[in-house]
Structure 1
């Protein structure tokens, strides 16, 4: 969404690229809409679930070309560790 590149490095619709913040918001909120659970999760606000992922790099600071290389190091769901690298 941010670079508009496919796995081979080809760029499609570069004029339609979106910001990192827009991509993160879309990715987070869309997932909850797909499961019809947007009232409980998908955005950060009071009363919603707050599952957390710790990433291997700062999504907001790495060069755009490195976003695809970021991995989850730790995932908490319901206050419990469900994944740890």
Structure 2
């Protein structure tokens, strides 16, 4: 959320509008940027053939939920290395820890 509104917990602006990325740019920074920072951009950071397809199914649509509610988004299903590592809500029957 902070990346998209630039507000501190107390609501103080830390950046101007020109310094705030779009939601798509913020997502790219968080995913591809994190992979690059870890020197692993050739294996992760994008959902493309040949890459690790780690992903999360979220409780809300990141692109449409109000920015103030982004921090409330939760993972309902998390897949790492092709394995389900967390499942909740409508996916709870897939949780490997309860099989």
TM-score above 0.5, yes or no: yes
Q: How well do the aligned residues superpose, as a CA RMSD in angstroms?
A: 1.3
| Partner residue in 2 for 1:2 | 4
Structure with the higher fraction of residues in helix conformation: 2
5 Å-filtered alignment, 1:15-30, equals 15=17, 16-30=19-33
Q: What is the number of equivalent residue pairs in this alignment?
A: 85
Give the one of 63, 67, 79 matched to 2:66. Answer: 63
Q: Answer with 1 or 2: which has the greater Rg.
A: 2
Name structure 2 gaps, 5 residues minimum: 89-99
Q: Which runs of 5+ in 1 are unaligned?
A: none
Structure 2 CA distance, aligned partners of 1:5 and 1:68? 13
Tell me how far apart the structure 2 counterparts of residues 23 and 47 of structure 1 sit (CA, whole Å).
24
User: Helix, strand or coil for the counterpart of 2:26?
Assistant: helix
Regions of 4+ moved over 2 Å:
none
Q: TM-score, normalised by structure 2?
A: 0.77
Q: TM-score, normalised by structure 1?
A: 0.89
Aligned to 1:46: 49
Conserved 8 A contact 1:29-1:43: yes
